[in-house]
Amino acid sequence: MNTAVAQRPSFNVYPGPVIFPVFGAMLLGFTIYIWRVNGLHTFITEFFIAATAFLLLGALITGSRYLSYRVEASIHDHAVTFNGHDFLFDRIDSVALAEKARLGQWAKTVAMRRTLTITAEGKRRTFAWLAHPDGDPIAPILQLLLRRMANEAARRSLRGPGWSLELGTLRTKDESTPLSTVTSAIFDDEVRLWRRGEPNPFFATPITSPNALVLRRVAEDARDQAPAPTPVVDESRLGRLLFVRKPPGFINVLSAFAFGSFGASAAWYAADRWMPQLTKPVLIAAGLVTLYAVIRAILSFATRYRFHEKGMIATYAVGQRELRYADVARMRWQEQRNFTEGIYSGTSVKATLIAADGKPLHIDVRRFRTTDGDLEPLRHAMAHAVAARMRHELASTGRVAWTDKATLLRDGIELKRGVVIPYTERLNARFDDNGWVYFSREGSRKQLRMLNRAGENFEAGWILYTELTPPPSSRA
């Protein structure tokens, strides 16, 4: 029997049970004072009474939720137990898991709110807890639960919204597909399924829907047990279509109009003050530039970035561009967290991928109120491809540029002109939240160099630098 306990979170992670009662008590005292001074039936008194009631209600909600965040789970041979409730595996109808990140300063994830919903014999029970980003004690129980439910699929049928699983066959609407011919993956918070040899997914269901994770586990097991297909060599194919992204068209139009109008006003003011005879031509030129920027921003509504396993296709209003990840020779990748009045509103990604032939491909996407974790594996794949090219250049010429501020040599890193730090000497690298990395010697506070993570080939250079730097035991 395996047992795990998710304890209640600390108040610095979940401060509601403290903040609401404290401010509610303070506001209650002030409301009593306002009531005695102005009377009961006045607008200001009624306003403060309503505000106090809101805070006290918030105290009750957050307090009860805090008490429910303690979850004790155990798993046996024939059942799983959550907070004293036993669920027999052969009686469980569906399992659903939802996750939501709790963000702290600089939009860092301080905890993950996980909500598990188990439906058995027509009754549904929900269990919620806050898990630390570095580890969840309930996670092993969840994995075993999904494994046992996947085993149940071999003995009985399982259902989800829009699909059913019967004896190794997936039925969706009027279609039946053997799971042995299916591959699966999770993108855009969906479990997506592909038929072997087809680039586009034929079915997708939200990852939080009932039995979605069980379906993915069953599909993975069926794929692993199926005989290996005959390999087909086709270098022109980019593999499965994983997900699609598009640029923030509305924001692009708004920004183009705002900056264009500001630039036109500034140009008109400068011309009217110092060169009145050129006021009209300057105004016409500035207006044309603004119109061009706005039209270009409007055309971005038609732009789509289709990310496949081996490459991507960028489709524009006129034409398209295809680029394989292995053909990327240089890259810039900038991720910026956006805040609106101090509240995290999303993350913008701006990247420039330069192929071996020198043609650049620009990417501009934005995710609202979340980061884009789907891009991470593809970014790492391209960075490793660029690192391989940098490694070859280093072996051939003895030096390779790392951004525009540093150079990697055969025996050390040149952070400043003429200052070479051997790889055997330990350097401290400190990453901040604004996209910079600060290098300094061990035991010294003096900064040697700062590199921008949005600089050209930063991640690829970091991969190569860590390969060239011996481990601490070797340096010792």
User: What is the per-residue pLDDT across 27-52, written as a single tens digit (0 to 9) for each?
Assistant: 999 999 988 888 878 888 999 999 99
Angstrom distance (rounded) from CA 71 to CA 82: 7
| Residue-number span of the structural domain to which 282 is assigned | 248-302
- Residue 152 domain-assigned? no
Same domain, 356 and 410: no
pLDDT of 154 over the 60 cut: yes
Question: What pLDDT, in 10s, does the model give residues 218-258?
Answer: 999 888 776 665 554 444 478 999 999 999 888 888 888 88
Same domain, 331 and 294: no
The residues that bridge with 241 in the sheet, in sequence order, are: 308
- Residue 297 domain-assigned? yes
Distance, C-alpha 447 to centroid of its chain: 31
- Residue 181 domain-assigned? no
- Residue 240 domain-assigned? no
Same domain, 277 and 335: no
The mean per-residue pLDDT over the stretch 2-9 comes to 88
| Side-chain half-sphere CA neighbours of 230 within 13 A | 0
Same domain, 309 and 370: yes
Q: Over the Cα atoms of the chain, what is R_g?
A: 29
Q: What is the pLDDT of residue 475?
A: 43
pLDDT of 424 over the 80 cut: yes
Q: What is the pLDDT of residue 474?
A: 42
- Residue 292 domain-assigned? yes
Q: What is the pLDDT of residue 438?
A: 92
Same domain, 310 and 298: no
Domain boundary among 302, 325, 342: 302
Same domain, 375 and 430: no
The mean per-residue pLDDT over the stretch 392-408 comes to 94
Ranges assigned E (strand) in 309-446:
311-315, 320-324, 328-340, 343-355, 360-368, 399-402, 406-409, 412-416, 419-422, 427-431, 436-441
Domain boundary among 354, 387, 420: 387
The single-letter DSSP state of residue 77 is S
Q: 168 — alpha (psi -120 to 50), left (phi > 0) or beta? A: left
Tokens linked to 301: 């509504």
pLDDT of 380 over the 70 cut: yes
Number of domains in the chain: 3
- Residue 155 domain-assigned? no
User: Is the pTM here over 0.75, yes or no?
Assistant: yes
Same domain, 298 and 367: no
- Residue 462 domain-assigned? yes
Q: What is the pLDDT of residue 302?
A: 92
The mean per-residue pLDDT over the stretch 139-147 comes to 94
Same domain, 325 and 380: yes
Domain boundary among 277, 302, 327: 302
| Residue 375's CATH number | 2.30.29.30
- Residue 33 domain-assigned? no
% helix / strand / coil in the chain, to the nearest 5? Answer: 40, 35, 25
Question: What pLDDT, in 10s, does the model give residues 316-357?
Answer: 988 899 999 999 999 999 988 877 666 777 788 999 999 988
Average pLDDT, the chain: 88
